[in-house]
Structure 1
Amino acid sequence: MSAHFVVARDGSVTQLAPCNVQTWHAGKSSWRGRSNVNSFAVGIEIANPGPLHKVASGGWSNDRDPDEEVAAGADVERVVTKEHGDAYWLGYTPEQIATVTDLCRALRDAYPTIGFIAPHWEIAPGRKVDTNPRFPLSRLRNSIFGVFAGIDRVAEGDIKDVQRRLKELGYHQVGEIDGIYGKATRGALLAFQADNHVSTTGIIDDATLKALRAAKPRAVSPARLISAEAAVADRPAVRTSVAAGRVVKASLLGSGILGSLSESGVLEKIEGASDIGRRVGAVVADWWPLVQPWWPLALIAAGGLLIWYLRAIRRAEVTAYERGEISP
C-alpha cells in the first residue's frame, strides 16, 4: 500500500510516509482540472472492505478478498448512488471517523494551504469507489474548514442555504451555490460577519445563523453607484452591445437615405453614370413598389427593438456592478 496514513477499524493510525514525499494511492486522477493528484495531496486510507455481497455463511464478502469475510450482523447496509453503484457497504466505525477528523485537522494546522478534502471516487470517478457512500464526507469537510460550530447535523444542503442567503443579502463573492465551504464562501461569510457585528471567525455558529436570518441586504457602495457606467465600459458584453447599436443606427440611417434617393429620382440619374448605379437602380426598382407603403415602420420597429435589447444588456451589466455581483 502506498499512502501517507492508514486508519484501522479500531481508530489507530499508522504513518507510512512523510507528508512531503509523494505516494501513489490515487493512481490516474484529477481534481478541478489538475491531473496527478498524488503530486499535491496527502493520502489517507481508511480500512473498509468496499462493496459487499452475501455469502453462504450468512456473512458478507467482496470480490477482491473473498477470504476476508464480514460477519453476519455487522453494520452492513445497501446504498445506491450514481458514483458508487448499487451495493452493500460496511459502515465506518466511530473511532475511524474521530481519528480521520483529528488527522485532517492536524494536517490543516500543519499545512494551511490545504483547501479541500476529496475521496478517491471524486478524483478517479468510475475507477475507485472509496470512501464508500456511508462515510460522512460533508460533515468531515465542514468540521475541518470551520463551518457550523456547535451544530450537530451538517449536510451539503445546509451550506447551500447559507450560500444562497449570503447572495440574497448582496454578498455575491460567495460564488456558486455548490454546498462546498471553500475560499469564496468563507470570504463572503467573513464580510457578512464584519458588516453585522458578529465575531469574524468564518464559523457558521448560532449567532451567525441568527444574524443571517435577520439581516437586510447590504447597502451598495456609493463609489459603485457613481462610477458604474465607466467601470463596465470595457466589459465584453457592453462593448459588443455598444458597437452593435452603432451598426443598427447606421443601417437605419442608410436605409432612410436609400429610400429618399429612390423617391427623388437620384438613383435613376446614377444609373446613367456607372454600371454599379444601373444595378442598384434595377434592384430598387423591382422591390421598392412592394415595400414602399410599410417598410419605414417595420425597419424602425425592428431597429428600435434591437437597440432596446442592446441597451438592456448594458443596463444589466451596470446593475450587476452596482450590486457588487461583478467587477470591472
Structure 2
Amino acid sequence: MSGFAPDQPGAMVRASPNFGPRREGFRPEIILLHYTGMTTGAGAEDWLCNPASEVSSHYLVHEDGRIVQMVRESDRAWHAGQSSWRGVTDINSQSIGIEVVNPGPLAGHPPFPPRQIAAVISLCQGIVARHRIRPEMVLGHSDVAPGRKIDPGERFPWRALARAGVGHFVAPARHRRGAALQPGDEGQEVTRLQAMLASYGYGLETGGTYDGATKTVVSAFQLHFRPKKVDGIADPATRETLQRLLAALPSRVGERAA
C-alpha cells in the first residue's frame, strides 16, 4: 500500500504512520542527513514504518541506490529529536530528513557505496530545487544534536555532495604548528571561536571558557568539516577551516530564508 504519490521522481513509497503537521509558519529549510545505524536496510525501513518506534524520516536510501519515501515532504517526520540550529529547536518542522542505510559503529563505520551516494545526491538536488534549500542548510544529525548524535559520521562524503552542488563545504585547512584551544582555556580567543561556531549555526553560548559544551560542538564541527581528526580540540587547522567556511557563505547566516 503506497498511501501517496512520491515527491521525488523514481522513489518508491512505503508510508509511515509516524508523522504530523509542520508547526505553523515553518516550511522545509534544512536537509538533515542521518545514517540508520542498524544491521540491515530492511530492518531500518521496517523500524521507521513501525508505529511502536515513534520515529520516521521522509526518505530512506538503500545501499543499492533505491530511494523509499515514507513521509510527504509537506509533513513533519520524526527524525531529529532534541536538536537546534540557528536558534530553532523544532528541527523536525524545519527539515526534510534522509536516512542513509549504513550500520555506522556497529560495523566499524564502513564506507558508503558509490551507487548509494549518487542516489543521495540526486535526491538532495531534487529537494533543493523544490524547496530552495540553501547550501549551508544541508546538515548532518551531528550538527544539530552535538554529542547526542554522530551520524552520518566521519566517512560520509560531504565533499562529493558539494562538488555536485549540494551543501556548503571548503577544503579542510592543512595541519600546521600553532597553539590549540582546548578544555580549560579562557579568554578572547575562546570567545571568538565560540562566536564563529554560533554564527555558523551551532547551538553554543559565548562565555569565553572552553568548557565541555564547546568541546562537544568542536567535535561535531570536525565530524562534518575536518573528519581526519575528531578530538574536540580547536587546533589552528580547525579554526582556519571554520574561518574559510564563514568567509565562503553564499548568504548571510542568522536569517531564515524568505
TM-score, normalization: structure 1? 0.36
Select the structure of larger CA radius of gyration.
1
| Higher relative contact order, chain-length normalized (CA < 8 Å, sep 6+) | 2
Relative to its length, the structure with more helix (as a share) is 1
